[in-house]
């Protein structure tokens, strides 16, 4: 029974990490896209949306990289302790 609880915990932790990846990627893209759309409508231009969309995508990829690096380094530390 102990093994089953440990398995469920690892599944839930994996789902939480996947959710964090999605949120860390989508939030900057949406925020920057909406800011670009707002600026385009306010200023009467047509390039802020595209520019800020790509800036949001880069910020999202950076967030994912940092999160993945932290998880990977944490796994290395756990392997050393065991």
pTM: 0.77
Q: How many domains is the chain built from?
A: 1
For residue 43, the enclosing domain spans 2-81
What would the 3-class secondary structure string for 10-30 be?
Answer: HHHHHHHHHHHHHHHHHHHHH
Residue 9 near residue 63 (C-beta atoms within 8 A): no
Give the tens place of pLDDT for each residue, 18-71.
999 999 999 999 999 999 999 999 999 999 999 999 999 999 999 999 999 998
């Amino acid at each position: 029974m102990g093994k089953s609880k440990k398995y469920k915990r690892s599944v839930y932790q994996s789902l939480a990490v996947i959710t964090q990846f999605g949120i860390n990627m989508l939030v900057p893209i949406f925020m920057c896209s909406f800011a670009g759309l707002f600026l385009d409508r306010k200023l009467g231009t047509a390039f802020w949306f595209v520019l800020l969309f790509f800036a949001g995508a880069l910020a999202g990829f950076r967030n994912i990289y940092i999160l993945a690096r932290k998880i990977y380094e944490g796994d290395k530390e756990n392997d050393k302790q065991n």
